[in-house]
Amino acid sequence: MKLLFFLFSFLFCFNVQGENSVDSFFNRLKTPNGASVRIIQDERIVTKMKNEQESAGDAEQKTRTAPGYRVQVFSSNAPRTAKNEASRIATDFKTTVKDVPVYVSFTAPFWKVRAGNCRSYQEAIDLMNRLKTDFPARKNSMFIVRDNVKIML
């Protein structure tokens, strides 16, 4: 188990330093004079590392975070009901307004539901007005907050 941990740590360090793939790491172990290092390992390790690298690369290329605005539609610190109510409200928003991302967060002691990834304040105002027409029961509790938002690249 210690050897497996050491191997993952070793490979991670090389990956952080700019390795593009697991295969290039193993290719670097071969020397030009014909000598090579023989690594005996389970094939699942290489497969798992390649899958992790591909999924991490896809996520990093598609979005990044930047300062922006969101519309907060719910906030509560009621210890028994806040979590369930936040989940219910988020589900209602996701089913009704499918093109607007909804985020549920917990910042002690508050459960919050926020919607949108707005780069400008005006964009957030437009989104809030749209949400107020779609959800008139919640229009008095909606307001705009500064947050780090996900920006599509």
Name the nearest CA neighbour of 115 among 81, 71, 78, 150.
71
Global pTM? 0.59
Burial group, residue 86, by CB count within 10 angstroms (0-12, 13-18, 19+) = buried
pLDDT at 90 (0 to 100): 94
Give the residue range(s) of CATH 3.30.70.1070 domains in the chain: 64-152
Regions of the chain with pLDDT less than 70: 1-34, 55-61
d(CA 129, CA 79) in angstroms, rounded, equals 30
The amino acid at 25:
F
75: left (phi over 0), alpha (psi -120 to 50) or beta: beta
Of 3.30.70.1170, 3.40.50.300, 3.30.70.1070, 3.40.640.10, the CATH number of 64-152 is 3.30.70.1070
Q: What is the pLDDT of residue 11?
A: 58
Report the side by side order of strands in the sheet with 63-76.
Answer: 102-107, 110-118, 63-76, 143-152
Quote the pLDDT of residue 85: 94
